[in-house]
A and B are shown apart, each in its own frame.
Chain A
């Protein structure tokens, strides 16, 4: 391919020749012809193209949002060619280089292995890949160049950011009994008050409610909620409407971060966790526990894309018959554009499930983007507050998650 320089020299040479003809200037004609000959002769030179083997070494194949990944790019000349090669390792558009460069100019000798390093920061969850690698070689005079694309791809995932929760997420009134001995981190009678009952022989005196004894005149003991292993269903709203905002500031991104945080906490406490992502279809990660399962959930969260408009009522109608009875459901949704919410929640409660909602407010994003005038925005905010109040009046736990707050703040609202 012609470089800019070749085009300039050839263009200049033709101009000189024609100008020489116009002015009858032999000197111009001959000088132009010499320059033109130079370009034509140079085109006969071979533009060397190396045969290379490319390898990348990364610090990790999976990182969390805003995490950094160091890449060591190793290229080996597997032929006898020699010369300068420009190398450009293609990066995802979301990636930010924080150290080094993904472009370099290398002088390669036969069978030489050269490497360069750079570090990336990925602010947004998803599945990405490094590569392909673009290589460019020029001739000695930079008149002609040759490009090649090496299909060397290195895939990696960026998981949603996981925060450390300051308090326990949820307790179940339907703990799951484990078969077989499992060493559990959190097991026992729990600390949260559930009800009072009469003392029966065998009860510990430590559980006696002395105030109730004084009041009623008989021995009463406190019953606590058992904090035990349970099945928790994380339900993520990935409908098209959840992409309101931009970049990291969308309900879906916030929901993914919250779901990842909750999943981590619940799995750390040895619970069984399932993830359901609904939008156009329903993607499921079935109930399981352990580190490996967390990886599955994070991968599924990384894949979540805003599309479709599946209503919550349909999702729950389809889902509930397959869930262990009484399992807590945690819904991550902005609760936008879904007229079935109230019905969906009512039917869920009536079937004995508890449902907790973490709702990132999409109106905050709209306000930030200044896309909605003040008055309609105010009305929309009032409507949202009313809806949340209504849901709370059913006895539902709804966390109104404002823009800029961390997951812990949303949790405290519940």
Chain B
């Protein structure tokens, strides 16, 4: 007797990998995931530190936006983590697949629309629920019928909706200041070099728009958050903190770049155009080990170079300080105790390094073909 083949019904619930490309998030090797996390933390640190010295309330943007937008009070403690989260969530959104991405978009748009419109728009309900089965009055045999309730839209709490719209505007305008963490987070997790470069470029632009105590010239003290003009920090204080911010930027650039680089390296180990699943466990472990070895050696290199950079930067500042404050002809010949002085001293120092570089260090000659 012939047996009927067992029909296996496909499950109607789609598998998780059909909905979201979660492998893109976790990556194929844990080490790359770890690099992304460290890179994200360094980004948050750098941006937070940046805003300590560039109060967004003193920005040219605040001068104009603060006057036109009610409740516009950019606070780095709020917008830095939230914009980072927004960048990260935008990345999560991008890894959703096909129609699910569209559904998610509709859900977000719908939720936002509902949140804003909900206080204002209300529905006045009639006697019955919609639709309802009701007994017909004066009937003999308890007859029932479906009835539709008349629906009426009423405008209930319009003010609350307007407040919410204003709030949304304020939050959106905060994204201008938060665009650095937003783009940085997206760049790190999506492995987009342009986004990382753009976040750094924006930091420079926002730095340009900063003028100390600008807020007090245009707004009330209560709005600015500080009562009297802040005392200008000494150039030594600025330089010292600048070194840390500079180092933070280097760490952020290097680590975010490393995440992209090592992911590309890992790609090289895969069979051409194929998936990692074709690698044997031993091969996968070997790749993982190679990447780990490489990353550890990279981190050691980075730590050593950053330490040397820090020392040299400190040396340059101290040389400048010594030359600027010590008696003698140098101090009299040029104003060393100022921005031009520090740049001048640094250039002299780099000149010296260049001369040293001529005699020591690798000589990368091309071998004659």
- B312 cross-chain contacts in A, Cβ below 8 A: 37, 41
The contact string, 1 if C-beta is below 8 Å from chain A, for chain B 225-246, is: 0000000010100111111011
Distance between Cα atoms of A35 and B368 in the complex (Å)? 34
Partner among B247, B254, B301, B350 whose Cβ is within 8 Å of the Cβ of A40 = B350
Known contacts A26-B339, A46-B362; can you find 4 more A-B pairs with CB under 8 A?
Answer: A26-B239, A30-B240, A34-B309, A46-B361
Distance between Cα atoms of A105 and B269 in the complex (Å)? 8
Check B253 for interface membership: any CB of A closer than 8 A: yes
The contact string, 1 if C-beta is below 8 Å from chain B, for chain A 82-95, is: 00100000000000
Task: Tell me whether A33 and B367 are in contact (CB under 8 A).
Answer: no
A42-67 residues with Cβ-Cβ distance < 8 A to B are 42-47, 49
Task: Tell me whether B350 and A36 are in contact (CB under 8 A).
Answer: yes
Check A23 for interface membership: any CB of B closer than 8 A: yes
Can you name 11 A-B residue pairings with CB atoms under 8 Å? A5-B257, A17-B343, A21-B340, A25-B210, A26-B339, A29-B339, A30-B241, A33-B343, A41-B305, A41-B312, A140-B301
B302-329 residues with Cβ-Cβ distance < 8 A to A are 302, 305-306, 308-310, 312-313, 316-317
Task: Tell me whether A26 and B235 are in contact (CB under 8 A).
Answer: yes
Task: Tell me whether B242 and A31 are in contact (CB under 8 A).
Answer: yes
Partner among A26, A42, A43, A141 whose Cβ is within 8 Å of the Cβ of B242 = A26
Distance between Cα atoms of A35 and B261 in the complex (Å)? 20
Q: A26-B339, A105-B265, A140-B298 are known contacts. Are A34 and B246 too (CB-CB below 8 A)? A: yes
- A395 cross-chain contacts in B, Cβ below 8 A: none
Q: How far is the CB of A161 from chain B (nearest CB, A)?
A: 28
Name the segment of A143-151, A243-251, A315-323, A329-337 touching the other chain. A143-151
Task: Tell me whether B366 and A140 are in contact (CB under 8 A).
Answer: no
Q: How far is the CB of A80 from chain B (nearest CB, A)?
A: 15
Distance between Cα atoms of A40 and B312 in the complex (Å)? 11
Task: Tell me whether B362 and A45 are in contact (CB under 8 A).
Answer: yes
Task: Tell me whether B294 and A34 are in contact (CB under 8 A).
Answer: no
Q: How far is the CB of A152 from chain B (nearest CB, A)?
A: 12
Distance between Cα atoms of A122 and B39 in the complex (Å)? 47
Q: How far is the CB of A110 from chain B (nearest CB, A)?
A: 14
Partner among B204, B233, B250, B290 whose Cβ is within 8 Å of the Cβ of A38 = B250
Q: How far is the CB of A116 from chain B (nearest CB, A)?
A: 10
**Residues of chain A at interface, number, CB under 8 A:** 52
Task: Tell me whether B313 and A34 are in contact (CB under 8 A).
Answer: yes
Task: Tell me whether B339 and A20 are in contact (CB under 8 A).
Answer: yes
Distance between Cα atoms of A320 and B367 in the complex (Å)? 53
Report which residue of B298, B306, B362 has the largest number of chain A beta carbons within 10 angstroms of its beta carbon: B362
- A5 cross-chain contacts in B, Cβ below 8 A: 257
Task: Tell me whether B207 and A27 are in contact (CB under 8 A).
Answer: yes
- B306 cross-chain contacts in A, Cβ below 8 A: 38
Distance between Cα atoms of A16 and B201 in the complex (Å)? 10
B270-302 residues with Cβ-Cβ distance < 8 A to A are 272, 290, 294, 297-298, 301-302
- A142 cross-chain contacts in B, Cβ below 8 A: 257, 261
Task: Tell me whether B339 and A33 are in contact (CB under 8 A).
Answer: no
Partner among A9, A17, A41, A148 whose Cβ is within 8 Å of the Cβ of B367 = A148
Partner among B200, B250, B313, B362 whose Cβ is within 8 Å of the Cβ of A30 = B313
Check A406 for interface membership: any CB of B closer than 8 A: no
Task: Tell me whether B339 and A41 are in contact (CB under 8 A).
Answer: no
Distance between Cα atoms of A16 and B204 in the complex (Å)? 7
Task: Tell me whether B242 and A107 are in contact (CB under 8 A).
Answer: no
- B54 cross-chain contacts in A, Cβ below 8 A: 27
Determine the residue in chain B with the shortest Cβ distance to A25.
B207
Distance between Cα atoms of A23 and B306 in the complex (Å)? 27
Check B82 for interface membership: any CB of A closer than 8 A: no
Distance between Cα atoms of A100 and B266 in the complex (Å)? 17
Distance between Cα atoms of A30 and B246 in the complex (Å)? 7
- B200 cross-chain contacts in A, Cβ below 8 A: 12
Task: Tell me whether A107 and B294 are in contact (CB under 8 A).
Answer: yes
- B146 cross-chain contacts in A, Cβ below 8 A: none
Q: How far is the CB of B143 from chain A (nearest CB, A)?
A: 79
Determine the residue in chain A with the shortest Cβ distance to B312.
A37
The contact string, 1 if C-beta is below 8 Å from chain A, for chain B 245-259, is: 111011001100100
- A12 cross-chain contacts in B, Cβ below 8 A: 200, 204
Q: A43-B357, A101-B272 are known contacts. Are A30 and B243 too (CB-CB below 8 A)? A: yes
Task: Tell me whether A132 and B362 are in contact (CB under 8 A).
Answer: no
Partner among A1, A23, A34, A132 whose Cβ is within 8 Å of the Cβ of B243 = A34
- A342 cross-chain contacts in B, Cβ below 8 A: none
Check A28 for interface membership: any CB of B closer than 8 A: yes
Distance between Cα atoms of A142 and B250 in the complex (Å)? 13
The contact string, 1 if C-beta is below 8 Å from chain A, for chain B 38-60, is: 00000000000000011000000
Task: Tell me whether A38 and B305 are in contact (CB under 8 A).
Answer: yes
Task: Tell me whether A21 and B350 are in contact (CB under 8 A).
Answer: no
Check A160 for interface membership: any CB of B closer than 8 A: no
B327-355 residues with Cβ-Cβ distance < 8 A to A are 339-340, 342-343, 346, 350, 353-354
Check A8 for interface membership: any CB of B closer than 8 A: yes
Distance between Cα atoms of A15 and B200 in the complex (Å)? 12
Partner among A19, A24, A31, A84 whose Cβ is within 8 Å of the Cβ of B265 = A84
Report which residue of A8, A16, A28, A41 has the largest number of chain B beta carbons within 10 angstroms of its beta carbon: A28
Check A325 for interface membership: any CB of B closer than 8 A: no
Q: A35-B246, A36-B350 are known contacts. Are A19 and B235 too (CB-CB below 8 A)? A: no
Distance between Cα atoms of A19 and B301 in the complex (Å)? 30
Task: Tell me whether A34 and B268 are in contact (CB under 8 A).
Answer: no
Partner among A27, A43, A146 whose Cβ is within 8 Å of the Cβ of B241 = A27
Check A306 for interface membership: any CB of B closer than 8 A: no
Task: Tell me whether B207 and A141 are in contact (CB under 8 A).
Answer: no
Check A360 for interface membership: any CB of B closer than 8 A: no
Task: Tell me whether B367 and A28 are in contact (CB under 8 A).
Answer: no
Task: Tell me whether B246 and A31 are in contact (CB under 8 A).
Answer: yes
Distance between Cα atoms of A30 and B236 in the complex (Å)? 10
Check A32 for interface membership: any CB of B closer than 8 A: yes
Partner among B233, B247, B272, B367 whose Cβ is within 8 Å of the Cβ of A34 = B247
Check B360 for interface membership: any CB of A closer than 8 A: yes
Q: How far is the CB of B286 from chain A (nearest CB, A)?
A: 10
Determine the residue in chain B with the shortest Cβ distance to A49.
B364
